[in-house]
């Protein structure tokens, strides 16, 4: 595209090294970022709604609000954070009472990302079932990201106990919610920021029983392990990615042959799994494998982005 002058950018491209001193020396950039976040918050509010002319469906805007909260919290923009949280809460009027628990869960995640733990906990307490597991998982994840390894492990222990109880028939949730809860929890745990966390997530996720959930969890773990390359998981990531690639290819063949029960052509399981596999290969730096998977996705027919 014309707005990217590739040559000039490449000519001066210098990446930040992980573990550098951060961007304290680039304070004007932080201020500029605060301005972007605030302007984005206003624009998204204008564009969001259920009316036909709305450019962003209310549901679609939810994660943008959440991400903005996280950004504003980390940029130290307390005022902007409150405004954005209020806009996210305001979606209750558009989306209705049924979504109250889910919105509380997402807002909890935003506060957790901004490291406002008490507000995150208070909102998570208002959610129930899968919404609450999501909120708890996010809380634990951000605890880990903040360097609080003990907080991560304690938080995830709470999530796993609730999931095991639900799988045993406790609580008013369905099987899909429990499966999704496992996927979400393991992902959050594995990305919690430590070698111990990824190992714990692996242990917690063995023998889930349902093959679809297990495949989903294993694929995302391949990516998470690959992301943890610096923590000594590269070899494990490679083994898991190789196994998942074989499983996904076999699943694709079965889907194409019409041998998968309850097959949803809009959301083929193999395509969703392949996204995680692409992430894993990318993180491993295996460009050839990544390109192969991208080509397979490129030939797919799923609806999401055309």
Partner 1 sequence: MLLDGLSSAITGLPMDAGHAEKHLALWQELAEGVSRLDEPGMRVSYTHNTAMVAAAYLEDGVQVGRAYLAEQETPVLRAAAMAGLASGVAERLERGRQPQVN
Distance between CA 81 and CA 71 in Å, rounded? Answer: 9
- Smallest distance from the beta carbon of 235 to partner 1, in angstroms? 16
- Smallest distance from the beta carbon of 121 to partner 1, in angstroms? 21
Among 49, 64, 92, 98, binds partner 1 (CB under 8 A): 64
Residue pair 284/229 in contact (Cβ under 8 Å)? The answer is yes
Q: Is 161 in the site for partner 1 (CB under 8 A)?
A: no
Closest CA to 69 of 56, 51, 87: 87
Closest CA to 289 of 213, 222, 197: 222
- Residue (23 or 161) nearer to partner 1, CB: 23
Q: Is 94 in the site for partner 1 (CB under 8 A)?
A: no
- Residue (39 or 259) nearer to partner 1, CB: 39
- Residue (74 or 126) nearer to partner 1, CB: 74
Considering only residues 28-47, where is the footprint of partner 1 by CB under 8 A?
29-30, 32-34, 36-37, 39-41, 43-44, 46-47
Instruction: Give, in order, the Cα–Cα distances in Å from 110 to each of 33, 131, 136, 188, 301.
Output: 17, 14, 12, 14, 34
Instruction: Give, in order, the Cα–Cα distances in Å from 79 to each of 37, 82, 166, 253.
Output: 12, 5, 39, 52
Q: Is 74 in the site for partner 1 (CB under 8 A)?
A: yes
Query: In the block, which residue shows the tokens 């509380």?
Result: 104
Q: Is 51 in the site for partner 1 (CB under 8 A)?
A: no
Q: Give the count of residues interacting with partner 1 (CB under 8 A).
A: 88
Considering only residues 229-258, where is the footprint of partner 1 by CB under 8 A?
229-231
Distance between CA 186 and CA 200 in Å, rounded? Answer: 9
């Amino acid at each position: 595209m014309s707005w990217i002058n590739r040559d000039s950018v490449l000519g001066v491209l210098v990446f930040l090294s992980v573990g550098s001193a951060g961007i304290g020396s680039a304070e004007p950039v932080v201020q500029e970022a605060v301005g972007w976040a605030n302007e984005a918050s206003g624009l998204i509010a204008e564009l969001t709604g259920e009316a036909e002319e709305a450019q962003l469906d209310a549901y679609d805007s939810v994660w943008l609000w959440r991400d903005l909260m996280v950004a504003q919290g980390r940029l130290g923009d307390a005022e902007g954070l409150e405004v954005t949280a209020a806009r996210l809460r305001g979606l209750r009027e558009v989306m209705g009472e049924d979504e109250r628990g889910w919105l509380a869960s997402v807002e909890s995640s935003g506060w957790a990302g901004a490291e406002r733990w008490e507000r995150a906990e208070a909102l998570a307490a208002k959610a129930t079932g899968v919404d609450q597991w999501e909120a708890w998982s996010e809380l634990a994840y951000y605890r880990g990201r903040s360097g609080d390894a003990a907080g991560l492990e304690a938080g995830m222990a709470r999530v796993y106990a609730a999931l095991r109880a639900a799988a045993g028939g406790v609580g008013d949730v369905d099987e899909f919610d429990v499966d999704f809860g496992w996927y979400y929890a393991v992902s959050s745990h594995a990305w919690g920021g430590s070698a111990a966390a990824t190992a714990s997530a692996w242990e917690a996720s063995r023998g889930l029983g349902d093959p679809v959930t297990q495949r989903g969890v294993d694929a995302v773990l391949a990516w998470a392990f690959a992301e943890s390359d610096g923590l000594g998981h590269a070899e494990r990531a490679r083994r898991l990615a190789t196994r998942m690639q074989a499983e996904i290819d076999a699943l694709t063949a079965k889907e194409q042959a019409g041998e998968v029960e309850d097959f949803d052509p809009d959301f083929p399981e193999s395509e969703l799994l392949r996204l995680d596999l692409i992430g894993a290969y990318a993180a491993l730096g295996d460009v050839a494998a990544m390109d192969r998977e991208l080509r397979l996705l490129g030939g797919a027919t799923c609806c999401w982005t055309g």
